[in-house]
Structure 1
Amino acid sequence: MTSTRLPRADAARNRRLLLAAAADEFAEHGLDASVADIARRAGVGKGTVFRHFATKDDLIAAILIDRMAELSDLGEHLLDADDAEAGLREFLTAAARQRQERDLSFLAAASESSAEVAGARERMLDAIDRLVERSRAQGVVREDITGTDVFLLMCAPNYVAGYVPNASPDLWRRYLAVILDGLRPEGARPLPAAAPELT
């Protein structure tokens, strides 16, 4: 009997196409994006979508995991950089650029119960913690800044720029620069509240 399973490379390619198409559809149409439209955009049949992702929620979770893995990979790579401040700046720039290209932050609420999403988030938080620890050790980030602080600030440049009508696509860079200056120890004053805990 002939197998109907796709070669591994083709299956991986279809998965990448589906994730990219789904991200675009959700960015344009929100959670109302249909599986049929996602399949059409990816150039595959609906059956292919469900062979990879049993439910729409599974597809959403996969998008979030993929985006967080991209940042985690970068963060872990940057732990080997000699200049910790440059590494942290590169990480935060990549995070802001990812959101500028496709703001999918609204998808997080749809995957709050996903253990896989939680695991990907923990991995990313660990990478951020270590980047911040190295930056503090090198004296380029103030001592009272935590990885959680930096995690919460990741979305701030795009969030602020989003309030400006007809904003330049690069406006987020202005606010990222403000954040990076605020992380430095020079001229720092004690923060008025303790760092939050996310767990």
Structure 2
Amino acid sequence: MAICGRAQDAATRIIERAQLAGAIRPDFTSEDLLLFFGTNALLARAVADTAPDAWRRQVAFLLEGLDTEPAQGALSVAPLTPQQVYDVMGRLAGTP
């Protein structure tokens, strides 16, 4: 799982730079990004035969939602912790 840790570290650095530049909202975390990747991958597999581009809509929503001036204001739910993301991604992958 060392590669996962390196990927998360890289994602964190990219997100932090984007936040410092004012390009994305300050409450977005690398855990949010990893969870999005996992769930979007499940969606892409589930719709592959019937609507192979449906995942693109979800990406568009994510990107719009990262705007520094979100239409709805602050989110009411806290981001997942790194351990919670690890647990969820394991369940999504079918591992105990």
TM-score by length of 1: 0.37
Are positions 1:146 and 2:29 aligned together?
yes
Deviation at 1:145?
0.8
Deviation at 1:120?
1.0
Aligned partner of 1:139: which letter? G
Answer whether contact 1:145 1:183 (CA < 8 A) is retained: yes
Are positions 1:195 and 2:83 aligned together?
no
Deviation at 1:121?
0.9
Alpha-carbon spacing, 1:125–1:165, altered in 2? closer, same or farther (3 Å):
closer
Are positions 1:158 and 2:35 aligned together?
no
Answer whether contact 1:140 1:184 (CA < 8 A) is retained: yes
Distance (Å, rounded) in 1 between the aligned partners of 2:62 and 2:42: 13
Q: Deviations over 1:112-148 (max 9, x none)?
A: xxxxxx2111100001101110111111110111111
Alpha-carbon spacing, 1:162–1:174, altered in 2? closer, same or farther (3 Å):
same
Task: Give the alignment's Cα RMSD to 1 decimal.
Answer: 2.0
Are positions 1:125 and 2:19 aligned together?
no
2:56 to 170, 173, 177: 173
Identity %: 32
Could you tell me which runs of 5 or more consecutive residues in structure 2 were left unpaired when the two chains were aligned.
84-96
Distance (Å, rounded) in 2 between the aligned partners of 1:133 and 1:149: 13
Deviation at 1:163?
4.3
Number of aligned positions between the proteins: 82
Structure with bigger gyration radius: 1
Q: Deviations over 1:89-133 (max 9, x none)?
A: xxxxxxxxxxxxxxxxxxxxxxxxxxxxx2111100001101110
Distance (Å, rounded) in 1 between the aligned partners of 2:31 and 2:48: 30
Could you tell me which runs of 5 or more consecutive residues in structure 1 were left unpaired when the two chains were aligned.
1-117
Distance (Å, rounded) in 2 between the aligned partners of 1:130 and 1:120: 15
Distance (Å, rounded) in 2 between the aligned partners of 1:140 and 1:160: 27
Answer whether contact 1:132 1:147 (CA < 8 A) is retained: yes
Deviation at 1:188?
4.7
Aligned partner of 1:124: which letter? A
3-state SS, counterpart of residue 154 of structure 1: helix
Alpha-carbon spacing, 1:121–1:158, altered in 2? closer, same or farther (3 Å):
closer
